[in-house]
Amino acid sequence: MLSGMAKKTAQDDPLAPVTLAVGQEDLLLDRAVREVVAAARAADADTDVRDLTPDQLQPGTLAELTSPSLFSERKVVVVRNAQDLSADTIKDVKAYLGAPAEEITLVLLHAGAAKGKGLLDAARKVGAREVACPKMTKPADRLAFVRSEFRALGRSATPEACQALVDSIGSDLRELASAVSQLTADVEGTIDEAVVGRYYTGRAEASSFTVADRAVEGRAAEALEALRWSLSTGVAPVMITSALAQGVRAIGKLSSARGGRPADLARELGMPPWKIDRVRQQMRGWTPDGVAVALRAVADADAGVKGGGDDPEYALEKAVVTIARAARSRRG
């Protein structure tokens, strides 16, 4: 079922001739497509689905895909990133919008910005069914999204539980949606803050710091195992980069600090005394160059996790291996 966050027009038939999904939130765009495909397959199990990128939709391709066939099969044609279509292909699509084919549902995914606006306007002019898929940048939007996810699954969660989920998981809608479905599958009755805390908050912090501790100790295999476990249990990648950054910075701080008793160093560096003892043990293989390399690896991973790369998991794995290698730089 499409999330309540995706606002829809009054004419809300997923099998309308044209659906326009507008925005840059991948989870909502994918759901808009899934909803149309599910409705088409419910009407005809043999529906043919074509999912195309702009470079696959050349001038003439749409006419080919939508020309009547002998078997008049139902078809769903999905066009991703429609704002990037070539000018000639946009002409084709506009012409098609004026006279859509029977038994065919066209789904246009459009970023909603100025690029390709003519196509957006043309689709709206012919009364395309529209699904809003905005990027959720504000915590309040993510909170509303979490609430709507629980509602869509027919479950109730306290406002504090929804807030705790957003706080502990972060901004990734896929991770938030997956956490909601995990909680509703595992927990009976109203979901409250204590349940979320048990599942995510403590676990996320504990497992993120396990990844960081193993990495700065130079134990790459164990760090990677802890990383995969953390990600599979729904820990937000951003929490792991944060723990890695703290782990490496603590080593940098302590290695450049003057010697002294843990209590004095704790005051000077703003760390609890037990942490000073632990970081001293972890420092053994580190060199100043190693710290610089590790900090760069953390910065790269942070950029990868926050949208600079396609694969947050790969960005984190690469950082963990680099940090573990840097931890052994003194040993050669």
pLDDT average, residue stretch 106-125: 92
Domain limit, last residue, from 133, 156, 186: 133
Whether 227 is covered by a domain: the verdict is yes
DSSP classification of residue 60: T
Do 129 and 144 reside in the same domain of the chain? no
Domain limit, last residue, from 117, 133, 149: 133
Do 128 and 54 reside in the same domain of the chain? yes
How many Å from the N-terminal Cα to the C-terminal Cα in the chain? 56
- pLDDT band for position 203 (cuts 50, 70, 90): low
Whether 7 is covered by a domain: the verdict is no
Distance CA 282, CA 251 (A): 8
Whether 5 is covered by a domain: the verdict is no
Do 187 and 219 reside in the same domain of the chain? no
CA proximity to 79, closest of 69, 89, 71: 89
Do 36 and 90 reside in the same domain of the chain? yes
Structure tokens that stand for 330 in this block = 């003194």
Per-residue pLDDT, 182: 84
Per-residue pLDDT, 238: 86
Domain limit, last residue, from 133, 152, 170: 133
49-100 pLDDT per residue, tens: 999 988 888 888 888 888 876 566 789 999 999 999 999 999 999 999 998 9
Whether 13 is covered by a domain: the verdict is no
Per-residue pLDDT, 64: 87
Do 89 and 103 reside in the same domain of the chain? yes
Question: Could you tell me the residue range of the domain that residue 158 belongs to?
Answer: 139-200
CATH number for position 241: 1.20.272.10
Do 115 and 224 reside in the same domain of the chain? no
pLDDT average, residue stretch 146-156: 93
Mean pLDDT of the chain: 85
8 A C-beta contact, residue 195 and residue 187: yes
CATH number for position 193: 1.10.8
- pLDDT band for position 145 (cuts 50, 70, 90): very high
Whether 2 is covered by a domain: the verdict is no
pLDDT average, residue stretch 285-307: 90
Do 322 and 213 reside in the same domain of the chain? yes
Do 195 and 235 reside in the same domain of the chain? no
In the chain, the number of structural domains is: 3
Per-residue pLDDT, 306: 80
Per-residue pLDDT, 205: 59
Do 170 and 263 reside in the same domain of the chain? no
Cite the beta strand spans of the chain per DSSP E: 18-22, 48-52, 75-79, 104-110, 129-132
Do 126 and 150 reside in the same domain of the chain? no
Per-residue pLDDT, 201: 61
CA 80 to chain centre: 18
Whether 63 is covered by a domain: the verdict is yes
Do 168 and 224 reside in the same domain of the chain? no
Do 167 and 270 reside in the same domain of the chain? no
- The answer to which of 1-5, 74-78, 133-137, 198-202 has the lowest mean pLDDT is 1-5
Check pLDDT > 50 for residue 3.
Answer: no
Whether 4 is covered by a domain: the verdict is no
Per-residue pLDDT, 136: 86
**Higher-pLDDT residue of 235, 38:** 38
User: pTM higher than 0.85 for the full model?
Assistant: no
Whether 166 is covered by a domain: the verdict is yes
8 A C-beta contact, residue 310 and residue 285: no
Percent of the chain at pLDDT exceeding 90: 43
